[in-house]
Amino acid sequence: MFLHPLVFLGGGLLDEVVGDPPSWPHPVRAMGGVIDRLDRARRGVHAPLALRVLGVLLALGLPTLAGGFAWAILRLCGPWGWVAEILLGAWMLAGRSLREAVRPVALALASGDLDRARREVALVVGRDTAHLDEADVARAGLETVAESLCDGVLAPLFWFALGGLPALWAFKAVSTLDSMVGHREAPYTHFGWASARLDDVLNLVPARLSVLFIALAAWSGRAVRMAWRDGAKTASPNAGWCEAAFAGALGIQLGGLNFYDGVPHDGPRLGDPGPNLDGPLLRRGLALERRVNLLALLVGSGVLSLRYLHG
């Protein structure tokens, strides 16, 4: 049974209108709680092979349970399953919540309150922020939007369109696993390996499609050129494509030197240097994210309409 295009569009538009109010419960937080408990339980295991086996079981098991739960809800709802699919679909989409997370940074910069902007951006990035200037704060906000545009916005829509609510929930479980345990550094080198690789696979197509959506939403050929030139520079096989396209669309350069716990890390530069990074440019980035999300909803519903009519 194909996902109905109006269900897909309804879920995406509901997310755009409501977002994820912080006071509301959220399935991702529940998944995070489960992952944390399992992570704590495995800490007595030190053998690399055993950790890899446990990591594979977790990487396959949690998404299966999440997708199975979503499928069971739809079955229980019977003919009203489409209502559940819209509501539970919107619950797992993040087009608006990504902007809401970064908007306070832009507002603080617009008011000239650099100290508040540093505090706000510290909530969404892992780098040191206490001594960032306005350009570095704006860059941190833009990089957050660019990094999350694929795995937080476009990839969930892709899997929602491709496999309905069960595929969307399963993907979000994989994404949550990757963010919590999918790290190269100890103690997750072996335990999180399977989660990280599965997340790479599931984002492979959405990351490349993100280049097209960004280019169309910004009407920018430079977005495609920068993605083609710089997309493979990052350690991640997927992140660079979206970030480079985003930088190209705005005519800026992202990446470069950051400090983590006082230690410098010089990352790849994506895009070409352009105008000074500031609050207005960050607001342009937020507006571009919104256009990309809405364009993806329109294109996805259009493709589903064609599939539905010929199915």
- What is the Cα–Cα distance from 123 to 129, expressed in whole angstroms? 10
pLDDT exceeds 70 at position 70: yes
Among residues 176, 242, 255, 168, which one has the least CA distance to residue 205?
242
Task: Please give the residue range of the domain that contains residue 240.
Answer: 5-310
pLDDT exceeds 60 at position 192: yes
pLDDT exceeds 70 at position 111: yes
Sign of the alpha-carbon torsion through 233, 147, 193, 208: negative
Domain count, the chain: 1
Average pLDDT, the chain: 95
Burial (CB count within 10 angstroms: exposed 0-12, middle 13-18, buried 19+), residue 2? middle
Average of per-residue pLDDT across 259-272? 94
Average of per-residue pLDDT across 124-149? 96
Beta bridge partners of 135: none
- What is the Cα–Cα distance from 171 to 143, expressed in whole angstroms? 22
Residue whose entry in the numeric block shows the structure tokens 């739960």: 69
CA-CA-CA-CA torsion for 38, 186, 257, 106, nearest 10 degrees? 10
Question: Hey, what amino acid is at 189?
Answer: T
